[in-house]
Amino acid sequence: MKKTLIVLLIIVVAIGTTGYWYVSRITAVAPPPIIAEETHRAIETGELVGYVEDNGSPAWLGIPFAKPPIGDLRWKAPRVPEAWEGVRNAISFGSACAQRGMVGGEDGPAISGSEDCLYLNVWEPADAQAHRPVMVWIHGGGNHIGEAGTVIYNGANLASTHDVVVVTINYRLGPFGWLTHPGLRDGDPADDSGNYGTLDIVRALEWVQANIAEFHGDVDNVTIFGESAGGFNVLTMMVSPLAAGLYHQAIVESGGLTLLPFRVAENFNDDVEPGNPRSSRELVNNLLITDGEGEDRDGAKAVQLAMTDAEVGAYLRRKSTAEILVGQGGAAMSGTPYIFGDGYVLPKDVQADELFADTSTYNVTPVILGTNRDEVKLFMMLGPDATERIFGIPYKIRDEAAYDRDSAYGTDAWKIRAVDNLAEHLRDTQGDSVYAYRFDWDELRSILSLDLSKLLGAAHALEIPFVFGNFDIVDRTMVISSDAIPGRDALSASMMSYWAEFAHTGNPGRGRDGTENEWTSWENGAASNNRLLILDTSRDGGIRMSPYRITREDLRARLLSDTSFATQAQHCQMYEQLFSGDDFVQSEYESLGKSGCAAEHE
Write the pLDDT tens digit of every residue in 305-315.
Answer: 999 999 999 99
Q: Return the half-sphere exposure (C-beta side, CA atoms, 13 A cut-off) of residue 502.
A: 30
Going by pLDDT thresholds of 50, 70 and 90, the confidence category of residue 330 is low
Residue 283 lies in a domain: no
Q: How far apart are CA 284 and CA 299, in angstroms?
A: 12
Considering the domain boundaries, does residue 601 fall inside one?
Answer: no
Residue 323 forms part of a structural domain: no
Residue 21: its pLDDT value, please?
43
pLDDT of residue 352: 85
Is residue 405, in this structure, part of any structural domain at all?
yes
Among candidate residues 442, 445, 440, the one with its CA nearest the CA of residue 478: 445
Average pLDDT over residues 566-588: 95
Work out the angle between the directed axes of helices 280-290 and 309-318 (0-180°, nearest 10): 60
Structurally, the chain folds into a number of domains equal to: 2
Count of CA atoms in the C-beta half-sphere (13 A) of 71? 4
Nearest to 485 by CA among 494, 477, 476, 475: 475
Mean pLDDT highest for which of 36-45, 384-393, 471-480? Answer: 36-45
Choose among 198, 186, 201, 136: nearest CA to 165: 136
What gap in Å lies between CA 264 and CA 313, rounded to an integer?
18
Clarify whether residues 541 and 556 are in a common domain. Answer: no
pLDDT greater than 60 at residue 545: yes
- Contact in structure between 416 and 424 (CB atoms under 8 Å): no
* Residue 529 and residue 579 in one domain: no
Q: Do 535 and 562 share a domain, yes or no?
A: no
- pLDDT at residue 430, as a whole number: 97
Instruction: Calculate mean pLDDT across residues 79-94.
Output: 98
Q: What angle (nearest 5°) sits at the alpha carbon of residue 164, between those of residues 161 and 168? A: 105
CA-CA distance, 137 to 117, in Å (whole number)? Answer: 16
Kindly state the DSSP code that residue 94 receives in the 8-state scheme. P
Question: CA 403 → CA 209, 378, 499, 507, 578, distances in Å?
Answer: 47, 12, 32, 37, 16
In a domain, 229, yes or no: yes
Do 456 and 574 lie in a common domain?
no
Read off the CATH number of the domain in which 137 is found: 3.40.50.1820
Query: Which of these ranges, 26-35, 66-75, 172-181, has the smallest mean pLDDT?
Result: 26-35
Please provide residue 509's backbone torsions phi and psi, each rounded to the nearest 5 degrees.
Answer: 45, -120
The number of residues in the chain equals: 602
User: Is 295 a domain residue?
Assistant: no
DSSP alpha helices (H): ranges in 15-75? Answer: 17-27
- What ranges in 96-170 are assigned the alpha helix state H? 156-162
Predicted pLDDT at 108: 57
Residues 497 and 562 in one domain: no
Domain that holds residue 238: 2-100+109-260+342-508+516-546
Q: End-to-end CA distance of the chain, in Å? A: 46
Alpha-carbon distance 160 to 130, whole Å?
14
My answer on whether 500 and 580 are in the same domain is no
Q: Are residues 523 and 571 in the same domain?
A: no
- If DSSP codes are grouped into helix, strand and coil, which group holds residue 101? strand
193-215 mean pLDDT? 98
Same domain, 168 and 233: yes
Band (447; pLDDT cuts 50, 70, 90):
confident
Convert 427-477 into a string of H (helix), E (strand) and C (coil): HHHHCCCEEEEEECCCCCCEECCEEHHHHCCCECCCCHHHHHCCCHHHHHC
Is residue 72 classed exposed, middle or buried when 0-12, 13-18 and 19+ CB atoms within 10 A define those classes? exposed
Give the number of other CB atoms < 10 A from CB of residue 272. 7
Task: Note the pLDDT of residue 448.
Answer: 76
Does residue 534 lie within any of the structural domains? yes
Inform me whether the pLDDT recorded for 395 exceeds 90. Answer: no
Element (H, E) at 492: helix 485-505
Q: Which of 183, 305, 254 is nearest to 458 (CA)?
A: 254
Residue % of the chain over a pLDDT of 70: 92
Write down the pLDDT at residue 110. Answer: 82
What residue type is assigned to position 572 of the chain?
Answer: C
> Among 3-12, 328-337, 400-409, 582-591, which is the least confidently predicted range?
3-12
Nearest one of 12, 75, 71, 27 to 470, comparing CA atoms: 27
| In-domain check, residue 368 | yes
Band of residue 18 on the pLDDT scale cut at 50, 70, 90: very low
Residue 556: exposure state from Cβ atoms within 10 A (0-12, 13-18, ≥19) = middle
Specify whether 382 is located in the same domain as 504. yes
Do 479 and 559 belong to one domain?
A: no
CA distance 525 to 531: 10
3-state secondary structure of 255: coil
List, in order, residues 6 or more apart from 301 with CB less than 8 Å away: 268, 281, 285, 294
Strands 41-43 and 87-89, sheet pairing? unpaired
Res 3 pLDDT > 80: no
491 and 582 in a single domain? The answer is no
Co-location of 51 and 194 in the same domain = yes
Evaluate if residue 7 carries a pLDDT over 50. no
